[in-house]
Amino acid sequence: MSNTPGYHGSYLRIDLSAGTMTNVPLAAETLRNFLGGVGLGTYLLLAEGVAEHDALAAEAPLIYVFSPLVGSPLTTSAKFAVVSKSPLTERINDSLASSAFAIAGKKCGCDAIVVVGRAAAPSVAVIEDDQLRIEPAGDVWGLSSRATEDALRERLGGDYQIASIGPAGERQVHYATISHDGRHAGRGGSGAVMGAKQLKAIAVRGTRRVAWHDSKALIALSKDLSQRSFGPATAKYRELGTASNLLTFNRLGTLPTRNFQQATFEHAAAISPEQLTATREKTRASCAACTIGCEHIYAFGGSGASSDGLLQKDAGVRLEYENLFALGSLCGVSDPDQVLAASRRCDELGLDTISAGGTIAFAAECVERGLLDVPWLVFGDGDAVLRALDEIVAGTPLGQQLALGSRRLAEQIGHDAIDFAPQVKGLEIPGYEPRTLQTMALGFAVGTRGADHNRSSAYEVDFSEAVDRRDVQPHEARLAVDIENRAALLDSLVLCKFLRRALEDFYGEAAEMLQAVTGWDITAAELEATAARIVAAKKLFNIRAGWRPEEDTLPRRFLEQPLPDDEQTTLGAERLAQLVTAYNSARGWTSEGWIEPVQQASLGLSEL
Amino acid sequence: MHNAIEVELFGIPRSRAGVAKTTAQGERLGEVLGDLEARFPGLAESCIEGGQLKPGYVCNVGGQRFVTDPQLPLAAGDVVLLLSADAGG
């Protein structure tokens, strides 16, 4: 038992090559400096000391990380991070998923599970408290994650929680996901890392609980937060879901369309949640320990209703803005049934919808330009999107190319294809047009896991009075730093970002929660420094993995080519470079983005 | 004589008002919001109070500037968008 309430004070380290598991202590100082989730995962990844290795090498670690708040009554705290090197970017990848796996994993008596090595054959790692057994996975290899979970529960018992990969992870598609209970640790290809280890699933069951420092205070904080989670700060997520962004973004000229050739989609209304809700059944669901309930699940293909006429969660398609944009407007698809079908196919195969849609849309533009000879792959054809998804996982010659993501596909195609491949550091750009959301453009450029909205959150700055989103200036780069720090803290506590507007005193309230759980005499100022440390630690991993300053930019399309319906708006290479320099300065790094030893020491990163 | 300002509603405001578009009267943002508040009880309950935006909501003029100041002058032909402030993931 750890001396620090809220933690077990150790992690489990599994070596699949040897079939062994050891319990490794974690220092109290490490826990306070990196908290949990993405922060603690980054520390553990750095501590493994293999940043330069290939992401799919046997020795490359795959780390599941819990947090001090997991298992507490705080709403949305049942989340876990998956941290590894990304096969898509060859830089750090940290993705999050929710639900009961986080609670059960922590009850195994650990704060994280580090997996290294490679099993000799497809396997399942079964962990019960601190005991490991490796079981064969031949019977579930090839199944979807959901079917795998069902089959393993049948085999092991219903109270196991299971994180698994689908066929995409098995084939090491570079943007394969890890899934649990229909949720995905989605971005960056952690599913491929798991597949490379021949690890189909991890099943966890445990009995070990942690103590809370001040249960009475924790319960009071939890009740208050839950109450606020029912209020206006989360109404959008609860009542409409993130898909409601679609029409708003279309109106604001920020909806990526046809591989970022446009920022408005003339058929947006046809695939909007407003239209979907008017024409089909919908139900809602929540992650474990969540009071928001942001999952909006739509009936699909005429099925899904039970005998009582209610839509069943597992029968419908969960729709978020990102899959609606990536498989809809980005590919020019206006048929809602085809967008739903593609979303469902990505779920079943275990594919990140953003990278899948981004890569397919990029390929369609290459076809349009005569750079790729795939005549059936055209914008607007939903059947073509479905065929491409299937080929990615079937491993056809085209599918093998698409499975590497848009950057590597562009490198194979040559010519000027890399100029319009929709990616940063190899990670496909999510549904935020960088030319008309320029703080977000900066966030994409400097993002340690590549073009990513969730780790940066800089779109929040653009959608406010703080900046002119079409003409962001270097002195405003500080705003991107501040919002990125907040995201890093949420991802390390871990709490859902959909709560962020319910937290009136962000760092102060986070400190109160940690005080109640851990007993630390921790302040808002210390947590702000902790957030900056975590962002710097991620950058440190990238530097060790071979990062170069020239990576922190956007493809030439976004710097040189105006949008057809917004020709006055430009970003330009020079201004983006100024923004990046200002961002680095605001972080205290060199103007190019290196972290010097003195800065490393001041951030508390010397031991790494 | 007040300006007739075209108002477009998105997300929760649209859902509460039950319309995607309307026209409101006012020479300043606060007056336009006040007109909406008087005519749409759903907006009064959720998004607007005393001619001001409640926390969590924001306006945008013409798809360009995000604004919240009730004193902001509006001109004939301006289009005001009313939306949730958390316009993101």
Q: Domain map of chain B by residue range? A: 4-84
Reply yes or no on domain A241-428 having CATH 1.10.569.10: yes
Res B25 pLDDT > 90: yes
Q: Which residues are within 8 A (CB) of A121 and not within 5 positions of it... i.e. 6 or more apart? A: A136, A137, A138, A198
pTM of structure:
0.97
Per-residue model confidence as pLDDT tens digits over A231-244: 888 999 999 999 99
Distance, in Å, from the CA atom of A114 to the CA atom of A64, rounded to the nearest integer, reads 6
| CATH for the stretch A10-205 | 3.60.9.10
Residue identified by tokens 């109106």 is: A251
Instruction: Write down the pLDDT at residue A300.
Output: 82
Q: Which residue of A has its CA nearest to B56?
A: A233
Instruction: Write down the pLDDT at residue A607.
Output: 84
Residue B8 sits at the chain A interface (C-beta within 8 Å): yes
Is the Cβ–Cβ distance between A92 and A225 less than 8 Å? no
Beta carbons of B66 and A244 less than 8 Å apart = no
Instruction: Write down the pLDDT at residue A311.
Output: 61
Mutate to test the interface with A, among B59, B66, B67, B80 (most CBs of A within 10 A): B66
Name the burial class of residue A546, with classes exposed (0-12), middle (13-18) and buried (19+) by CB atoms within 10 angstroms of its CB: exposed
Beta carbons of B12 and A236 less than 8 Å apart = yes
Instruction: Write down the pLDDT at residue B1.
Output: 56
Instruction: Write down the pLDDT at residue B89.
Output: 67
Q: Which of A26-35, A54-63, A233-242, A458-467 is least confident?
A: A233-242
Per-residue model confidence as pLDDT tens digits over A515-570: 999 999 999 999 999 999 999 999 999 999 999 999 999 999 999 999 998 999 99
Per-residue model confidence as pLDDT tens digits over A372-384: 999 999 999 999 9
Portion 431-470 of A in contact with B at CB < 8 A: 432, 453-454, 457, 459-460, 463-465, 468-470
Distance, in Å, from the CA atom of A560 to the CA atom of A574, rounded to the nearest integer, reads 11
Average pLDDT, stretch A336-350? 96
Q: What is the mean pLDDT of chain A?
A: 95
Higher pLDDT, A604 or A475: A475
Distance, in Å, from the CA atom of A572 to the CA atom of A554, rounded to the nearest integer, reads 10
Beta carbons of B10 and A244 less than 8 Å apart = yes
CATH of A438-602, one of 1.10.3720.10, 2.40.30.10, 1.20.1050.10, 1.10.599.10: 1.10.599.10
Mutate to test the interface with B, among A242, A282, A463 (most CBs of B within 10 A): A463
Strand partners, A183: A180
Res A77 pLDDT > 60: yes
Q: Which of A233, A248, A464 sits opposite B56 (nearest CB)?
A: A233
Per-residue model confidence as pLDDT tens digits over A432-491: 999 999 999 999 999 999 999 999 999 999 999 999 999 999 999 999 999 999 999 999
Instruction: Write down the pLDDT at residue A499.
Output: 92
Residues of B whose CB is below 8 A from A236: 11-12, 84, 86
Per-residue model confidence as pLDDT tens digits over B47-70: 999 999 998 899 999 999 999 999
Instruction: Write down the pLDDT at residue A304.
Output: 45
Residue B84 sits at the chain A interface (C-beta within 8 Å): yes
A132-144: buried (b, 16+ CB within 10 Å) or exposed (e) per residue?
bebbebeebbebb
Res A1 pLDDT > 90: no
Nearest CA to CA, how far is A567 from chain B (Å)?
14
Per-residue model confidence as pLDDT tens digits over A200-233: 999 999 999 999 999 999 999 999 999 999 988 8
Q: Which residue of B has its CA nearest to A320?
A: B89
Residue B71 sits at the chain A interface (C-beta within 8 Å): no
Q: Which of A248, A322, A468 sits opposite B89 (nearest CB)?
A: A322
Instruction: Write down the pLDDT at residue A309.
Output: 53
B4-84 has which fold? Ubiquitin-like (UB roll) (3.10.20)
Nearest CA to CA, how far is A465 from chain B (Å)?
5
pLDDT grade, residue B77 (50/70/90)? very high
Beta carbons of A463 and B55 less than 8 Å apart = no
B2-28: buried (b, 16+ CB within 10 Å) or exposed (e) per residue?
ebebebbbbbbbbbbbeeeebebebeb
Nearest CA to CA, how far is B7 from chain A (Å)?
13
Beta carbons of B87 and A248 less than 8 Å apart = yes
Instruction: Write down the pLDDT at residue A314.
Output: 66
Res A305 pLDDT > 50: no
Beta carbons of B86 and A460 less than 8 Å apart = yes
Per-residue model confidence as pLDDT tens digits over A136-154: 999 999 999 999 999 999 9
Q: Where are the domains of chain A?
A: 10-205, 241-428, 438-602
Helix (H, G, I), strand (E, B) or coil at A63: strand
pLDDT grade, residue A278 (50/70/90)? confident
Distance, in Å, from the CA atom of A234 to the CA atom of A510, rounded to the nearest integer, reads 18
Q: Which of B10, B56, B89 sits opposite A454 (nearest CB)?
A: B89
Beta carbons of A251 and B8 less than 8 Å apart = yes
Is the Cβ–Cβ distance between A359 and A428 less than 8 Å? yes
Strand partners, A152: none
Average pLDDT, stretch A17-25? 98
Half-sphere exposure (Cβ direction) of A506: Cα atoms closer than 13 Å: 18
Q: Would you say the ipTM is above 0.95?
A: yes
Q: Which of A245, A252, A430 sits opposite B63 (nearest CB)?
A: A252
Average pLDDT, stretch A42-62? 97
pLDDT grade, residue A160 (50/70/90)? very high
Residues of A whose CB is below 8 A from B58: 463-465
Q: Which of B46, B84, B88 sits opposite A459 (nearest CB)?
A: B88
Residue A226: how many CB atoms within 10 A of its CB? 18
Average pLDDT, stretch A93-108? 97
pLDDT grade, residue A306 (50/70/90)? very low
